[in-house]
RNA sequence: CGGAGCGUGGCGCAGUUUGGUAGCGCACCUGUUUUGGGAACAGGGGGUCGAAGGUUCAAAUCCUUUCGCUCCGACCA
């Protein structure tokens, strides 16, 4: 493509609307433009990258045996009511009516549509297994779209759905997708870690997320520094911590702690290690009050709690509602002497000896509190967010925490949807069975943003070759006849040999061309100017490394392809 | 939805405190000279200040309402 004809509006300055590097660079490099928050137009350069990623993903999917199809974006409400998610997904869906007043939504995901499709076709165990996928625009009315295409309200997703006769089959399908995903991400030139994940609104049993490690990532991931354990912190579990020494239980006492509400305040006021305080959190789980206890130096993991309680919604008890459940103001509640409220505690609370807790009396705390002796916990379970340095649950290592961008997510759904939507087959005995399902997503547009987060410098994007919009950019410096002739020939020949090449033939000064080439991140730059032509050479420069190579004007195209071949 | 910030030519911003009828840089158009890391000079076009209402002789500026954008949180694949 000749750049004099390319619709490539690059920006010299960073738009005020963009905060993170990938968002800024996608706008500056002329890859996309904003329509409104979370909704974007892909310009020719950006679309090329999207298509590259799609093709790589498509190939990995096809090789795994999955088959591509295309489902509608418009879904009927009946389907979603059938699965029970019309209400559950609720505000996340864009809903509307047709002229007859019938309800629809724009598809945020496609379990319902695919299940409705497949249940009509699959009758026998002989029809299984099957894995169907599509690459399509998804629509989700996100509460807070942000970071450009990282979390958009409209985004491109590859979603696949597997159908098996049993759980062994599902395990095989799941494994095949896991492998295909790793392959697709690697082929895109990305460094991705697979981590154990929570299943969230999709439901199901097992789940992995594929994470691109990046500072701007919205997810936090816990890694073991010595074994392969890795999990989203929503899911991560820490190993047993050593309990230091044994201490005699002392007699419980009430102490005056005026105005000391937070753990920090109380522990400082009483001169006690925060780990020995018991943090009491009053929550409503779908409206039911529950008191949750965690050690003062821990944070409650609400995902774990919500999963355990099978609650859709967890909200803190509002300050003004405290008197409904407690005899003190916020900051002084605790488990001792509390009645009529379910009490759950993190496992670490069990080990606290002579701890501190709220006295259920405004401006008072209790010291030398001992679980079991002074109060009863209905259930102990793992409820805390793991921290940097926590022991690994699988080995003797320690956990590290890093930020990541979720570019893929795979789920073992089991029969969640086949049961609610009655998707069944007949086994060898003629007995009706529910189809066992899995679902698998890759955020194509998010992956592009993640690739930029992982591959950029102060000058701009540095595309991995596999997803670069073009592999080579030829800069024609000046309009010297010889320069025009040489660049034109190079361009024609490279293109003829299948190398995707940009020719910067614009009437711009050299600085503009250099800067644009760096900004849009083409892996290999070829510079041709009158000056170098005098020595019968041209210059090649590798975007990622900055390596410069002088090339004699002889078999130049061979040499360029040679250099290109060794670029990642 | 709660908190914070911001909406002024295409982009980045000043002007708002203390009302007096809009300015700078970049970009754009024409011309000349330039041409290896975002050129220089000269000339030129383009905004009614997010929107609506109000106060005032007079509103970008003050008041009210509203819409949008960004960030933090809640929430969310």
DSSP string, A88-142: HHGGGS-EEE-TT--EEEE-S--HHHHHHHHHHH--BGGG--EEEEEEEEEE---
Distance CA A450, CA A462 (A): 12
Which residue gives the smallest C-alpha to C1' distance to B25? A13
A445 — pLDDT class (breaks 50, 70, 90): very high
Distance CA A152, CA A144 (A): 9
A444 within 8 A of A492, measured Cβ to Cβ? no
* ipTM of predicted assembly, 2 dp: 0.94
Q: How far is the CA of A163 from the C1' of B73 (A)?
A: 40
Share of chain A above pLDDT 90, in %: 70
- The length of chain A in residues reads 568
Q: In 3-state terms, what secondary structure has residue A512?
A: helix
Residue A184: both structure tokens together: 């697709």
Over chain A, what is the mean pLDDT? 92
Query: Which residue from A315, A317, A307, A282 is spatially nearest to A381, judged by alpha carbons?
Result: A307
Residue A252: both structure tokens together: 């419980």
Q: In 3-state terms, what secondary structure has residue A69?
A: coil
Task: Report helix, strand and coil shares of chain A as percent, to nearest 5.
Answer: 30, 30, 40
pLDDT value at residue A73:
95
Q: How far is the CA of A11 from the C1' of B20 (A)?
A: 38
Distance CA A568, CA A550 (A): 20
Distance CA A257, CA A332 (A): 9
Residue A455: both structure tokens together: 């591959």
DSSP state of A234: T
A504 within 8 A of A524, measured Cβ to Cβ? no
Instruction: Please give the backbone phi and psi of residue A123, each rounded to the nearest 5 degrees, phi first.
Output: -115, -35
A507: pLDDT strictly greater than 80: yes
pLDDT value at residue A201:
61
Q: In 3-state terms, what secondary structure has residue A455?
A: coil
Torsion (CA) A357, A360, A366, A370 in degrees, nearest 10: -60
Q: How far is the CA of A510 from the C1' of B29 (A)?
A: 22
Which nucleotide shows the minimum CA-to-C1' distance to residue A201? Answer: B77
pLDDT value at residue A528:
96
Which residue gives the smallest C-alpha to C1' distance to B68? A36
pLDDT value at residue A242:
67
Torsion (CA) A45, A51, A57, A59 in degrees, nearest 10: -130
A317 within 8 A of A281, measured Cβ to Cβ? no
Average pLDDT over residues A446-453: 96
A163 — pLDDT class (breaks 50, 70, 90): very high
Distance CA A81, CA A159 (A): 21
A8-62: per-residue pLDDT in tens? 999 999 999 999 999 999 999 999 999 999 999 999 999 999 999 999 999 999 9
Q: How far is the CA of A150 from the C1' of B3 (A)?
A: 23
Q: How far is the CA of A464 from the C1' of B34 (A)?
A: 37
Which nucleotide shows the minimum CA-to-C1' distance to residue A475? Answer: B36
A515-554: per-residue pLDDT in tens? 999 999 999 999 999 998 999 999 999 999 999 999 999 9
A424-439: per-residue pLDDT in tens? 999 999 999 999 999 9
A505 — pLDDT class (breaks 50, 70, 90): very high
Out of A201-210, A274-283, A372-381, A422-431, pick the least confident: A201-210
DSSP state of A146: B
A4-15: per-residue pLDDT in tens? 999 999 999 999
Distance CA A94, CA A54 (A): 25
Give nucleotides in strand B with any atom < 7 A to a protein C-beta.
1, 6, 11-13, 25-27, 34-39, 68-77
A287 — pLDDT class (breaks 50, 70, 90): confident
Q: How far is the CA of A314 from the C1' of B33 (A)?
A: 71
Q: What is the DSSP string of A245-263?
A: S-------EEEE-TT--SH
A182 within 8 A of A64, measured Cβ to Cβ? no
pLDDT value at residue A160:
97
Q: Is the model more confident about A259 or about A58? A: A58
A241: pLDDT strictly greater than 80: no
Query: Which residue from A460, A446, A467, A444 is spatially nearest to A38, judged by alpha carbons?
Result: A446
A278 within 8 A of A293, measured Cβ to Cβ? yes
pLDDT value at residue A267:
85
User: Which domains are assigned to chain A?
Assistant: 21-236+401-452 (3.30.930.10), 253-381 (3.90.960.10), 470-565 (3.40.50.800)
Buried b (16+ CB within 10 A) or exposed e, A454-472: bbbeeebbbbbbbbbbbbb
A341-398: per-residue pLDDT in tens? 889 999 889 889 999 998 888 889 999 999 999 999 998 988 888 988 889 999 999 9
Number of other CB atoms surrounding residue A7 within 10 Å: 8
A198 — pLDDT class (breaks 50, 70, 90): confident
């Amino acid at each position: 493509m000749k750049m004099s004809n390319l619709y490539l509006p690059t920006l010299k300055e960073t738009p005020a609307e963009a905060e993170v590097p990938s968002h800024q660079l996608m706008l500056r490099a002329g890859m996309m433009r904003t329509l409104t928050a979370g909704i974007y137009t892909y310009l020719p350069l950006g679309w090329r990258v999207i298509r590259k990623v799609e093709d790589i993903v498509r190939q990995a999917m096809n090789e795994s045996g999955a088959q591509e199809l295309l489902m509608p974006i418009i879904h009927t409400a009946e389907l979603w009511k059938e699965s029970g998610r019309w209400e559950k997904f609720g505000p996340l869906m864009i809903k509307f009516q047709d002229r007859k007043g019938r309800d629809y939504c724009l598809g945020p995901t496609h379990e319902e549509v695919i299940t409705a499709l497949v249940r009509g076709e699959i009758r026998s165990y002989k029809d299984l297994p099957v894995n169907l996928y599509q690459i399509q625009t998804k629509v989700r009315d996100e509460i807070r779209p942000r970071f450009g295409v990282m979390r958009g309200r409209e985004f491109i997703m590859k979603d696949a759905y597997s159908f098996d006769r049993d759980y062994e089959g599902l395990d095989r399908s799941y494994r095949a997708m896991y492998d295909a995903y790793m392959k697709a991400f690697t082929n895109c030139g990305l460094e991705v870690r697979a981590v154990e994940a929570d299943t969230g609104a999709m439901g199901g049993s097992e789940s992995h997320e594929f994470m691109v490690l990046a500072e701007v990532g919205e997810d936090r991931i816990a890694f073991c520094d010595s074994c392969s354990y890795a999990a989203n912190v929503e899911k991560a579990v820490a190993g047993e911590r050593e309990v230091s020494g044994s201490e005699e239980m002392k007699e419980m006492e009430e102490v005056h702690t005026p105005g000391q509400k937070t753990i920090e305040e109380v522990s400082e006021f009483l001169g006690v290690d925060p780990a020995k305080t018991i943090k009491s959190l009053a929550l409503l789980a779908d409206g039911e009050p529950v008191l949750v206890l965690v050690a003062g130096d821990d944070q409650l993991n609400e995902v774990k709690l919500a999963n355990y309680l099978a609650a859709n919604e967890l909200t803190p008890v509002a300050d003004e509602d405290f008197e409904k459940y407690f005899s003190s103001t916020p900051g002084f509640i605790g488990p001792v002497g509390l009645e009529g409220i379910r009490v759950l505690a993190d496992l670490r609370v069990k080990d606290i000896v002579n701890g501190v807790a709220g006295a259920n009396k405004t401006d008072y705390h209790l010291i030398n509190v001992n679980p079991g002796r002074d109060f009863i916990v209905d259930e102990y379970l793992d409820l805390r967010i793991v921290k940097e340095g926590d022991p690994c649950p699988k080995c003797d290592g320690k956990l590290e925490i890093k930020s990541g961008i979720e570019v893929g997510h795979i789920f073992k759904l089991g029969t969640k949807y086949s049961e609610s939507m009655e998707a069944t087959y007949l086994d060898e005995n003629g007995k009706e069975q529910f189809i066992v399902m899995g679902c698998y997503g890759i955020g194509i547009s998010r992956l592009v943003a993640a690739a930029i987060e992982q591959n950029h410098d102060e000058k701009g994007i540095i595309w991995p070759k596999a997803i670069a919009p073009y592999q080579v950019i030829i800069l024609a410096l000046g309009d010297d006849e010889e320069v025009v002739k040489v660049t034109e020939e190079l361009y024609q020949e490279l293109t003829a040999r299948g190398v995707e090449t940009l020719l910067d033939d614009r009437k711009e000064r050299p600085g503009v061309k250099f800067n644009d080439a760096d900004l849009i991140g083409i892996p290999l730059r070829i510079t041709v100017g009158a000056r170098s032509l005098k020595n019968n050479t041209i210059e090649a420069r590798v975007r990622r490394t900055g390596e410069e190579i002088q090339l004699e004007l002889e078999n130049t195209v061979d040499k360029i392809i040679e250099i290109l071949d060794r670029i990642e």
